[in-house]
Amino acid sequence: MASRLGRVAGVTIGDVAAAARVSRSTVSRAFTRPQLLSPATVEHVLTTAARLGYVGNQAARALSTGRFGNIAVVVPDIANPFFPPLVRSLQLAAESADLAVFLGDSDESAEREAKLIARLAPQVEGFVLASPRLSEQLIRELAATRPVVLVNRDLDGIARVLIDSSGGMTEAVLLLKKLGHQRLAYLAGPRDSWSDGQRRTTLARVSEQAGLTVEVIETGRPSYAAGRDSVAAIVRSGATAAIAFDDVVSQGVLAGLEVRGISVPADFSLVGCDDTLAALTSPALTTVSAGAASAGAAAAKLLISLLETPDSGRTAAGGSAGPAPGHGGDVGGAGGACVRIGTHLVVRGTTAVARAGVVT
């Protein structure tokens, strides 16, 4: 008859103890260290507890153990389609480790992000910061306090999951070259985004090697409107193909091009990033894949392992001077582990042979 939804009113460990005619300690132990009790007692207590609909009070438990059973994930914008799959797989993984997850949306603001973290910190055991806009110093400060896993931010000594888009980016440039494009445009993302930095760098390097020129067009917050509004700049640049920071921006570009009567891919080629919306639209977008879901799962796994290692989380060597021993950012076992997720190009319908002089 017990409620399947947890506490009905306020069944405490004391109530269970009274009903089972044992002490409160015994009830507590029946849950936390059953091996200390006789099987019969455990059985009896658990049955009684179930009958009464007892559910432990997390706050009280946290007070004595210092463990909350909660983690937090902070994202710059949950409405950006890159994050929901990430959050989703993170949450599912956390659930199976019996962790509850707080969600924080920083609205792309470093300041809000700091406030959120401060608000959440006293009741979570660890953080997953996805594409954090926070300063390196503040992140390190936080990481010195409790386990932190970064997603798409590369800070030496702090556990992180990086979606390495250089692979897919390189393929994209090579494909465009093969299709005869000479002049590319890159629709950039937020300057404080690690992903954007990586894409910019890769693009510059690979294009140079391939003998192509690439024009960088700044757009503020990555959005549909930003993409649409930058079409003028694209046209001005004389590019015959563009690579966009993400799929949302790409969609905006697509719309902007259509308005101008420039057809894709006949007149212009477009490559997105993240594979979030790409498959959903027509023409389907050629894009650089980016397993956001696997990144979420990896981040959860990483954080959970940090939580299990007793005194982990604390940044490897506090302020120990000396340039970091340069053995790259590889999996170091615990504190500074780094998981890289590879990407590749998914060719769909927005890329085709360059048509000389069309957009000039």
Partner DNA sequence: GTGGGGTGTGCAATCGGTTGCAGGGTGGGG
Partner DNA sequence: CCCCACCCTGCAACCGATTGCACACCCCAC
41 binds DNA (CB under 7 A): yes
Structural contact between residues 292 and 78, judged by C-beta atoms closer than 8 angstroms: no
User: Which single residue is written with the structure tokens 């438990």?
Assistant: 61
- Among 19, 46, 61, 123, which residue interacts with DNA (rule: CB under 7 A)? 61
| Strand positions, DSSP E, the chain | 70-75, 100-105, 126-130, 148-151, 160-164, 183-187, 213-217, 241-244, 269-274, 286-289, 338-342, 345-346
Could you tell which of DNA, a second copy, none binds residue 6, using a CB distance below 5 to 8 A set by kind? a second copy
5 binds DNA (CB under 7 A): no
Among 4-12, 158-166, 265-273, 303-311, the segment contacting a second copy (CB under 8 A): 4-12
Element (H, E) at 91: helix 83-96
State the Cα angle at 62 between 7 and 48, rounded to 5°. Answer: 35
Among 26-34, 163-171, 179-187, 285-293, the segment contacting DNA (CB under 7 A): 26-34
Contact flags string 234-253 toward a second copy, x per CB under 8 A: --------------x--xx-
Q: Residue 230: how many CB atoms within 10 A of its CB?
A: 23
- Among 26, 48, 165, 315, which residue interacts with DNA (rule: CB under 7 A)? 26
Q: Residue 263 half-sphere exposure, CB side, CA atoms within 13 Å?
A: 3
Q: Which residues pair with 71 in a beta bridge?
A: 101, 126
141 binds a second copy (CB under 8 A): yes
> What are the phi and psi torsion angles at 28 (to 5°)?
-60, -45
Element (H, E) at 59: helix 58-65
Q: Sign of dihedral through CA atoms 64, 128, 314, 335? A: positive
Distance (Å, rounded) from C-alpha 174 to C-alpha 243? 12
93 binds a second copy (CB under 8 A): no
81 binds a second copy (CB under 8 A): yes
- Nearest CA to 140 out of 289, 335, 359, 300 is that of 335
3-state SS assignment for residue 35: helix
Distance (Å, rounded) from C-alpha 360 to C-alpha 351? 18
- Among 41, 123, 182, 305, which residue interacts with a second copy (rule: CB under 8 A)? 123
358 binds a second copy (CB under 8 A): no
The residues, ordered by sequence, that sit 6+ positions from 247 with a Cβ below 8 Å of its Cβ are 81, 272, 273, 274, 275, 276, 277, 278, 285, 287
- Among 50, 63, 204, 331, which residue interacts with DNA (rule: CB under 7 A)? 63
Could you tell which of DNA, a second copy, none binds residue 23, using a CB distance below 5 to 8 A set by kind? DNA
- Among 16, 37, 52, 116, which residue interacts with a second copy (rule: CB under 8 A)? 116
- Among 22, 75, 94, 297, which residue interacts with DNA (rule: CB under 7 A)? 22
Could you tell which of DNA, a second copy, none binds residue 29, using a CB distance below 5 to 8 A set by kind? DNA
- Among 6, 14, 220, 342, which residue interacts with a second copy (rule: CB under 8 A)? 6
24 binds DNA (CB under 7 A): yes
Where in 32-61 is the site for a second copy (CB under 8 A)? 55-60
Interface residues with DNA (CB under 7 A)? Answer: 10-14, 21-26, 28-29, 31-33, 36-38, 40-41, 54, 56-57, 60-61, 63-65
Interface residues with a second copy (CB under 8 A)? Answer: 3-9, 55-60, 62-63, 68, 70, 77-79, 81, 83-85, 87-88, 91-92, 95, 98, 100-105, 107, 114, 116-123, 138, 141-142, 145, 224, 248, 251-252, 254-255, 258, 277, 279-284
